[in-house]
């Protein structure tokens, strides 16, 4: 019986080194993330954090440690099944619950907040239990991979 043989993927032409470099970079980031105990990655969707983050940017999430979350820290929290990435603008404590008032950099007002955090003046915080991750920052500059996650958003529809 005749066999046609295996198919080969030939990578050649312009930009081949750039494509290889991107793959190596992604593998290196994945290995580093696994080795350092990073919590995960998040793909930014929406305009609320512009100009810092744009739709399609990928950010690296660390485990939320309340002793390291300060005003200015960017967190990801879950509200009604949606993940939201916003900056902490105020922190307060209610009973034994730490509450973070958060706001998108491009938004005029803070987020509505979640129970059990009560309204404190005109705003309400997000409890630590809802915080799923903290955006990795180096020297207070968030680490991001610009636009690469846009492919996932396009495929998802």
Which of the two residues, 34 and 23, has the higher pLDDT score? Answer: 23
Query: CA angle, corner 153, sides to 61 and 105, nearest 5?
Result: 55
Structure tokens at 73: 């820290």
At residue 43, φ and ψ (nearest 5 deg) are -100, 125
| Per-residue CA distances from 118 to 2, 59, 90, 105, 125 (Å) | 74, 30, 14, 23, 7
| Domain ranges across the chain | 38-156
Given pLDDT bands bounded at 50, 70 and 90, which one contains residue 156? low
9, 64 contact by CB (below 8 A): no
Is the pLDDT at 48 greater than 80? The verdict is: yes
Q: Which CATH class is domain 38-156?
A: mainly beta
Residue 111 burial (C-beta neighbours within 10 Å; 0-12, 13-18, 19+): buried
55-102: per-residue pLDDT in tens?
999 898 998 899 999 999 999 999 999 999 999 999 999 888 999 999
Share of the chain above pLDDT 90, in %: 45
What pLDDT is recorded for position 9? Answer: 45
Alpha-carbon span 148 to 27, nearest angstrom: 14
């Amino acid at each position: 019986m005749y066999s046609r043989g295996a198919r080969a993927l030939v990578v050649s032409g312009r930009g081949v080194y750039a494509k290889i470099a991107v793959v190596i970079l992604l593998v290196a980031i994945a290995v580093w993330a696994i080795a350092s105990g990073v919590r995960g990655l998040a793909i930014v969707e929406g305009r609320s954090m512009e100009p810092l983050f744009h739709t399609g940017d990928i950010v690296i999430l660390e485990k939320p440690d309340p002793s390291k979350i300060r005003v200015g820290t960017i967190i990801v929290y879950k509200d009604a099944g949606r993940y939201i990435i916003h900056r902490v603008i105020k922190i307060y404590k209610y009973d034994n619950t730490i509450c973070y008032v958060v706001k998108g950099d491009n938004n005029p007002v803070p987020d509505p907040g979640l129970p059990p955090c009560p309204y404190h003046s005109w705003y309400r915080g997000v409890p630590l239990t809802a915080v799923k991750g903290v955006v990795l920052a180096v020297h207070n500059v968030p680490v991001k991979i610009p636009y690469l996650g846009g492919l996932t958003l396009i495929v998802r529809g």
